[in-house]
Amino acid sequence: MVGEGSGFRRLLITGATGFVGSRLVRGFLDSGISVGALLRAESSADHLDPRATILRHDGTTSDLHALTQTFAPEAVIHAATHFVGAHRPDDIVRLIRANLLFGTQLLDAMGRCGIRKVLNFGTSWQHFDGDRYSPATLYAATKQAFEDIAAYYAEAEGFSILTLKLPDTYGPADRRGKLISALLRARAEGKSLDLSPGEQRINLLHIDDVFSAVCVALGRACTNPTGTREAFALRGPETVSLRELVARIQRVGGRPVPVAWGARPYRSREVMRPWVGPLLPGWSADIGLDRGLTELIDTA
């Protein structure tokens, strides 16, 4: 399944301890691919699949170069990020460091090793207002800025870069504390969760569908000519309002989810309708919301 026909045997993954990265690590290892997990010095590897090769970097470009050269992957999957919905002043350094500096160092180190295939992740929040670039948040702006930097590496150094722009994702082993986790906790504990009025529409993509998309994207990256730069949207099968999502969890879980509608205001630039961008060719999501939620509730 992995990048069919791509022949990838060794992949380097950044953000390997994160929600997306850890699912990819497991999936590739299960497929017999060697995975190098590029971790920060301070990253905890407690939840990382023990079959992965841990490569700890010290934050310098030269160290990234040395590690990349030694591991010698055929491609790099760049899933590291600092995410924040509404940023505070002390998020700025973290956003720039994770979403711009680290990625740029990585591309440069890769180029020096002659490794030029990258799978990158963006966010549907880069399109607050339709197809044009319109960042919903500063986080989304940094994701766009990295794509712009990556354009240099594609055009000047012949990188092949494919960016998958994700909507909200969900699934097992999600330690990010985002919406679905908060709703399931409220359901389990019977403690009311403060929410906005709930009319915003949300597209939810199951983490296993992210893995299947990455497999398709790797196959594509393999055959793309050097210097190719592409970006595609991923989408889950259903887009529902937040109110419908809570009703859905109640229905499939057979128990009320206590929420206080309107106890919080909408965020500034709350995304009320998710972007419907060009879908990754040859891929579609498989896991419907009922199935994904049922499995999540059953295993909670």
Residues of this chain that bind ligand NAP (CB under 6 A) = 14-21, 40, 43, 79-83, 97-98, 102, 121, 123, 143, 166, 168-169, 176
Element holding 150 (H helix, E strand): helix 138-157
For residue 57, give the 3-state DSSP assignment.
Answer: strand
The residue among 53 and 192 lying less far from ligand NAP, judged by its C-beta, is 53
Give Cα 217 to chain centroid, integer Å.
Answer: 14
Q: Report, in Å, the least distance between residue 166 CB and ligand NAP.
A: 4
CA–CA distance, 274 with 8 (Å, rounded to integer): 33
Four-point Cα dihedral 264, 124, 213, 15, nearest 10: -70
CA–CA distance, 292 with 273 (Å, rounded to integer): 22
Q: Report, in Å, the least distance between residue 168 CB and ligand NAP.
A: 5
Element holding 40 (H helix, E strand): strand 34-40
Q: Report, in Å, the least distance between residue 254 CB and ligand NAP.
A: 27
Answer left, alpha or beta for residue 7, where phi above 0 means left and psi between -120 and 50 means alpha. Answer: left
The residue among 26 and 261 lying less far from ligand NAP, judged by its C-beta, is 26
The residue among 47 and 255 lying less far from ligand NAP, judged by its C-beta, is 47
The residue among 32 and 89 lying less far from ligand NAP, judged by its C-beta, is 89
The residue among 74 and 168 lying less far from ligand NAP, judged by its C-beta, is 168
The residue among 78 and 187 lying less far from ligand NAP, judged by its C-beta, is 78
Q: Which residues of 45-61 are buried (b: 16+ CB within 10 A; e: fewer)?
A: eeebbeebeebebeeeb
Phi and psi at residue 170, in whole multiples of 5°? -155, 170
Q: Report, in Å, the least distance between residue 170 CB and ligand NAP.
A: 8
CA–CA distance, 88 with 92 (Å, rounded to integer): 7
For tokens 């990625």, what's the residue?
Answer: 103
Q: Report, in Å, the least distance between residue 66 CB and ligand NAP.
A: 16
Strand partners, 203: 239
Q: Report, in Å, the least distance between residue 190 CB and ligand NAP.
A: 27
Burial class (CB in 10 A: 0-12, 13-18, 19+), 148: exposed
Q: Report, in Å, the least distance between residue 210 CB and ligand NAP.
A: 8
The residue among 49 and 261 lying less far from ligand NAP, judged by its C-beta, is 49
